[in-house]
């Protein structure tokens, strides 16, 4: 019933539907290479640290390009960036497929990160453009649901393609999907940048020549960015790195059981996203963000005590609820508190801080696991999130007035 209402309300928003189709295509492409990336890297004779660098360098590129990509959406529009970004990802994918050394492969992973930053930042700015205070949570939850859908479909397809056509084939398939996404945006996607954006930006910059510094002095913006940073650390470090290893080492779980556990997180997250997006438009964002964050903290503490497959799956359910509640609503909160004329630079800065968690999460939590245990890494993750959540609950404003 909830899903029927959401789809009925969103059907009239053509831009959102077109944008979501593009992101499904792109996330499927990213998912294509995720299951074969370590195996492909091993063909170059490298160790686990160097394999990890392939993920880190992708995140570094995103972090460096997020803010410039946001500025670019003001200069040339949202639509051109959403057309060019997938093409750059395609170029990087072809480069990965034809690389004959590890370092060339690493360089083209950086190129892929540039393309990813361009289209993800432009997509967030466009979502902010077409949403209102009354429907922002629903629109962003629908978009995030499409991200999860694409990410869920990609790995299965990538594994099948690699099995029958070789480890390089998923990169070529990713390149093809990037071209398809670019063509789709070129022929279908309208421009969402307001016609008054340039005069508005001039007026805003006349008051503050350094809008990024102004954002970094905004306590609400910093706190919500730190929460998303913590969520990214959890997703990349705890969920995707520590959880599979913990299940394997402590429970002797096989690949199928580990894959099922990660699928549970994704499915529960998908349901949680739609429900929280719908009701945050009515009751406000802050409560959903803090409650979801506390639930996520509980899931991390539960993982430290996992002693059976059933308890692992219960922890995954709790984690999915927590990420679904606070992750997407955080993006809506950011759009609420940023002036419309500063959406581009605001979303770019927010994405850059968030992507720092993408870069640091796997490395730092992995290091803590190496020097002590998985438990220490998970507890550190939980304590950091808890600290920021309490700070946010005490200091941050409610960005959306309840509408009963």
The 10s digit of each residue's pLDDT in 301-338 is 999 998 888 898 899 999 989 988 887 788 888 878 88
Task: Say which residue, 145 or 296, is predicted with more confidence.
Answer: 296
Mean pLDDT of the chain: 81
Same domain, 139 and 284: no
> Residue 234's domain spans which residues?
207-395
How far apart CA 279 and CA 42 sit, in angstroms, is 46
Averaged pLDDT, 157-173? 85
pLDDT value of residue 5: 53
Q: Are 350 and 334 in contact (CB under 8 A)?
A: yes
Which residues fall within 8 angstroms of residue 231, CB to CB, at 6 or more apart? 293, 296, 323, 326, 327, 330, 354, 357, 385
Give the integer Cα–Cα distance in Å for 341 and 201.
6
CA nearest to 68, candidates 85, 56, 53 = 85
3-state secondary structure at position 244:
helix
Judged against a pLDDT cut of 70, whether residue 34 lies above it is answered with yes
Of the candidates 388, 231, 380, which has an alpha carbon nearest to the alpha carbon of residue 304?
380
Q: Three-state SS across 35-51? A: CCHHHHHHCCCCCHHHH
**Within a domain: 284:** yes
Determine what percent of the chain is predicted with pLDDT higher than 70.
88
Mean pLDDT of 112-141: 82
* Cβ-proximal residues to 78 (8 Å cutoff; 6+ apart), any chain: 122, 125, 126, 129, 191, 192, 193
Helix, strand, or coil (residue 275): helix
Residues 56, 127, single domain; the answer is yes
- Say whether both 249 and 375 belong to one domain: yes
Domain finish residue from 193, 219, 239:
193
Report field, pTM of the whole predicted structure over 0.85? no
Question: Does residue 241 sit in the same domain as residue 95?
Answer: no
pLDDT for the residue numbered 161: 84
Question: Does residue 283 lie within any of the structural domains?
Answer: yes
Number of domains in the chain: 2
Percentage, residues of the chain above pLDDT 90? 23
Domain holding 118: CATH number? Answer: 1.20.1250.20
68 and 180 share a domain?
yes
- Is residue 65 a part of any domain in this protein? yes
pLDDT of residue 146 exceeding 50? yes
Q: What is the pLDDT of residue 207?
A: 47
Confidence of residue 381 (pLDDT cuts 50, 70, 90): very high
Chain length of the chain? 404
């Amino acid at each position: 019933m909830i899903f029927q209402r959401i789809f009925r309300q969103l059907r009239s928003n053509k831009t959102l539907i077109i944008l979501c189709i593009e992101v499904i295509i792109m996330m499927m492409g990213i998912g294509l290479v995720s299951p074969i990336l370590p195996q492909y890297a091993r063909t170059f004779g490298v160790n686990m640290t160097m394999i990890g660098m392939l993920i880190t360098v992708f995140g570094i590129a995103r972090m460096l390009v997020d803010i410039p990509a946001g500025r670019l959406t003001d200069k040339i529009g949202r639509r051109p960036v959403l057309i060019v970004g997938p093409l750059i990802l395609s170029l990087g994918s072809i480069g990965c497929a034809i690389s004959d050394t590890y370092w060339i492969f690493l360089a083209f992973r950086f190129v892929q990160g540039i393309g990813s930053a361009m289209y993800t930042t432009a997509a967030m700015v466009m979502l902010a453009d077409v949403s209102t205070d009354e429907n922002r949570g629903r629109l962003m939850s629908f978009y995030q649901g499409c991200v999860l859908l694409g990410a869920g479909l990609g790995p299965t397809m990538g594994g099948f393609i690699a099995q029958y056509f070789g480890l390089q084939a998923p990169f070529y398939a990713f390149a093809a999907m990037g071209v398809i996404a670019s063509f789709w945006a070129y022929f279908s996607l309208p421009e969402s940048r307001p016609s008054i954006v340039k005069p508005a930006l001039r007026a805003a910059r006349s008051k503050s020549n350094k809008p990024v510094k102004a954002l970094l002095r905004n306590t609400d913006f910093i706190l919500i960015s730190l929460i998303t940073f913590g969520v990214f650390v959890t997703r990349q470090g705890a969920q995707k790195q520590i959880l599979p290893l913990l299940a394997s080492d402590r429970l002797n779980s096989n690949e199928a059981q580990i894959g099922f556990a990660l699928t549970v997180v994704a499915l529960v997250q998908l349901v949680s996203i739609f429900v929280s997006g719908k009701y945050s438009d009515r009751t406000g964002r802050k409560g959903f963000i803090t409650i979801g964050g506390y639930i996520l903290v509980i899931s991390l503490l539960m993982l430290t005590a996992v002693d059976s497959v059933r308890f692992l799956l219960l922890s995954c359910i709790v984690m999915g609820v927590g990420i679904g509640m606070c992750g997407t609503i955080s993006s809506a909160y950011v759009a609420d508190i940023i002036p419309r004329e500063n959406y581009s630079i605001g979303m770019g800065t927010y994405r850059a801080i968030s992507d720092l968690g993408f870069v640091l999460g796997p490395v730092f939590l992995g290091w803590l696991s190496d020097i002590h245990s998985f438990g220490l890494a998970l507890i550190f993750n939980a304590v950091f999130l808890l600290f920021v959540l309490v700070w946010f609950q005490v200091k941050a404003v409610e960005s959306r007035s309840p509408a009963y």
